[in-house]
Structure 1
Amino acid sequence: MSFPRAGSLIQVQSYKHNGLIHRTWEETVVLKGTSKVVIGGNDRILVKEADGRQWRTREPAICYFDSQHWFNMIGMIRADGIYYYCNLGSPFTWDEEALKYIDYDLDIKVFPDMTYKLLDEDEYALHSKQMNYPQPIDAILKRSVDELISWIHQRKGPFAPQFVEMWYERFLQYRI
């Protein structure tokens, strides 16, 4: 299987557990693409919601997707620092059409001072009942929340100092 090459444009699609599309991000530039990790960059791109709404992102962002972990991260570059939005979801897959993952509702927002807040626990509880999330998925996601918080505390992976800045510099090279 081939993976997206650096410099190529891809679409990112998130789905819900029931198989329905949730959200689509257009035109993310691949900065690194392997079977284990895809790192991308984008700026003011179009996002399409399943209900037909559309909006544009407000700032440049570096996205980190992992094929081994049940979370992905978006580092948003703002004037007052880097904010991270972390989605708890399935490891990514790539099928030549798009990078895809299942969004499992829980999110963690990380602030520039590395404090964080767990979000959408009520949405997770509701969808867990509505879509009948299996117990093993629930256990994986709970472990993944703990693992993600550990990464934040350790400043591991995309939370490492200069990670977002380094990849943003590479993203700017593709935009010239």
Structure 2
Amino acid sequence: MALPVEGETIQIHSYKHNGRIHRVWQETMVLKGTKNVVIGANEKTLVIESDGRTWLTREPSICYFHSEHWFNIICMLREDGVYYYCNVSSPFVYDNNSIKYIDYDLDVKVFPDMTYALLDEDEYELHKKEMGYPEVIDKILKRNLTILISWIQQRRGPFAPDFIEVWTNRYELNRDIQADTNPE
């Protein structure tokens, strides 16, 4: 099985349950790539929506994907602190130089003070009916939402106090290495 390699650039593909593409992030630098965890970083990367609209991310972000948990976490580094956008999703797969997952609508936004808000419950209920999410998926997603919230409360994984510093330093190191090997 191929794994992403530290320093390489990959894409991130988000799909919906019906198999349709939802969103693509064009360039994310791999900071860690194992069979269970991929940590990446991007900054001002092009994002393509399913309807063709495009936009650039505003701030540097550290992205956390796990092959066994039904969520992924985007850590957005803003001037007033780190904001976390957590997608309840399928575990990731790595295929054709891309991280791929199914976005299941429910999101958790975590603020710098570690308070959080559950988002898009109405969208989840609508898509659950429209796309026919099986009951087993519904149970898995709700169980993983509980796990995600416990990570937030316990400051585990990407919410740990030193996570951002460690991976931001690794990102800067990799950018410096690339700049040295690819002078303009």
**TM-score interval w.r.t. the shorter chain?**
over 0.9
Identical amino acids, percent of aligned pairs: 64
For the pair 1:75 / 2:75, whether they are aligned, the reply is yes
Structure 2 residue 160 is matched with structure 1 residue 169: no
TM-score w.r.t. the length of structure 2 is 0.94
Question: Given residue 166 of structure 1, which amino acid in structure 2 is its aligned partner?
Answer: V
Which stretches in structure 2 are left out of the alignment for 5+ residues? 177-184
Distance apart, 1:165 and its partner CA: 1.8
Give the letter aligned to residue 175 of structure 2.
R
Aligned equivalents of 1:49, 1:62: Cα separation in 2:
20
User: Following the alignment from structure 2 to structure 1, what is the Cα–Cα distance between the partners of residues 4 and 145?
Assistant: 28
Q: Within 2, Cα distance between the matches of 1:87 and 1:164?
A: 18
**Would you say how many aligned residue pairs link Structure 1 and Structure 2?**
176
Return the alpha-carbon distance in structure 2 between the equivalents of residues 56 and 24 of structure 1: 11
Question: Which segment is superposed worse, 62-71 or 90-99?
Answer: 90-99
Cα deviation, 1:121-146, whole Å, max 9, x if unaligned, reads 00000000000000000001111111
| Cα deviation digits, residues 36-55 of structure 1 (max 9, x gap) | 00000011100000001100
Consecutive unaligned residues of structure 1, counting only runs of 5 or more, are none
Deviations 1:30-88 (A, max 9, x none): 00000000000011100000001100000000000000000000000011100000000
2:4 and 2:97 in contact (8 A); partners too: no
Shift of 1:26: 1.0
Q: Which residue does 2:109 correspond to in 1? A: 109
1:38 aligns to what SS in structure 2?
strand
In structure 1, the residue matched to 2:181 is none
Structure 1 distance, partners of 2:174, 2:3, is 18
- Large movers: runs of 4+ above 6 Å: none
Greater Rg by CA: 2
List per-residue Cα deviations over 1:124-171 (Å, max 9, x = no partner): 000000000000000011111111000000000010002012101110
Question: Secondary structure of the residue that 1:35 maps to in structure 2?
Answer: coil
What is the letter of the counterpart of residue 152 of structure 1? I
Q: In the TM superposition, what is the alpha-carbon distance from 1:96 to its structure 2 partner? A: 2.4
CA distance in 2, matches of 1:21, 1:97: 16
1:4 counterpart SS class? coil
Alignment of 1:125 onto 2:125 = yes
Classify the secondary structure of the residue corresponding to 1:27.
Answer: strand
In structure 1, what is the Cα distance between the partners aligned to 2:162 and 2:43?
19
Q: Which amino acid aligns with 1:51?
A: D
Deviation at 1:97, TM superposition (A): 3.4
1:41 aligns with 2:41: yes
* Paired position in structure 2 for 1:32: 32
Q: State the secondary structure of the residue aligned to 1:161.
A: coil
Cα deviation per residue 1:83-137 (whole Å; 9 max; x = unaligned)? 0000000000011231100000000000000000000000000000000000000
Q: Which residue of 1 aligns with 2:14?
A: 14
Letter in 1 for 2:139: A
Kindly indicate whether the alpha-carbon contact (under 8 Å) linking 2:88 and 2:106 is maintained by their aligned counterparts in 1: yes
